[in-house]
Amino acid sequence: MNFFRLLGDLSHLASIFILLHKIQTTRSCRGISFKTQVLYVVVFVTRYLDLLTFQFHSIYNTVMKLFFIGSSIYILYLMRVRFRPTNDPSIDTFRIEYLLGPCAVLSLIFNYGYTWLEIPWSFSIFLESVAILPQLFMLQRTGEAETITTHYIAALGAYRALYIPNWIFRYFTEDNGVDAIAVVAGIVQTALYVDFGWIYFTKVLQGQKFELPA
Amino acid sequence: TGAGRKKDEL
């Protein structure tokens, strides 16, 4: 564990707490893509199948995995049951089958072994890299967002960005090579946040509302 | 171990 990865994981945790806070305090899931949240559940469940093997890494690792699975399912419950009337599917129109299909194909081509752990793991890495797209697409359609929602997306972007220096650090301090699948997918994922990040830094952090140019 | 998946990452 190094500084960048710890900070990245904490940023990931923070993003989930920001999202929960947004839904609970506004009593609304307006502006949040249900499809992106469904994809995150799929990502966590397929990636953390190794929990079932009880191959223990650390308490940190196990607790975080359980938290990510549990909180992502809880968010679906909040959106679909508790605050269902505030969820507007008519603007959440990204076709997620166009993400799921190619990720499934990629995971069959690029993986670290044809096993029931490695193929879902690889699939989850590819899927995570594009899981934010329905959310960004929704933002694009509405052209604006509540400030708290932009903090949520920014925390997710920071988490991804921090994993890159983590890999560089690990490359130079450890002697076991590069996780090419995670690194390539991670760079793609981080790149998807660049546009958003620019507006976040130049508008939201300067105290303005998040609005896309017409 | 060689290049490959980092099983300790989340």
- The per-residue pLDDT for range A33-84, each reduced to its tens digit, is 999 999 999 999 999 999 999 888 999 999 999 999 999 999 999 999 999 9
The token pair at A78 is 């909040």
Mean per-residue pLDDT over chain A, rounded:
96
Long-range contacts of residues A52-59, Cβ cutoff 8 Å, at least 24 apart: A53/A117, A57/B7, A57/B8, A58/B8
For the stretch A97-154, pLDDT in tens is 999 999 999 999 999 999 999 999 999 999 999 999 999 999 999 999 999 999 999 9
Q: Output the pLDDT for position B2.
A: 52
CB A47 within 8 A of CB A126: no
Confidence of residue A162 (pLDDT cuts 50, 70, 90): very high
Report whether pLDDT(B1) > 60.
no
User: How far apart are the C-alpha atoms of A16 and A36, rounded to whole Å?
Assistant: 13
ipTM value: 0.87
- Pick the closest to residue A129 from A112, A116, A110 (CA basis): A110
CB-count exposure of residue A187 (10 Å: 0-12, 13-18, 19+): middle
Picking from A1, A58, A121, the nearest residue to B5 by CB comes out as A121
Picking from A57, A121, A163, the nearest residue to B8 by CB comes out as A57
**A121 and chain B in contact, CB less than 8 A:** yes
Helix axes A3-26, A59-77, angle to 10 degrees: 20
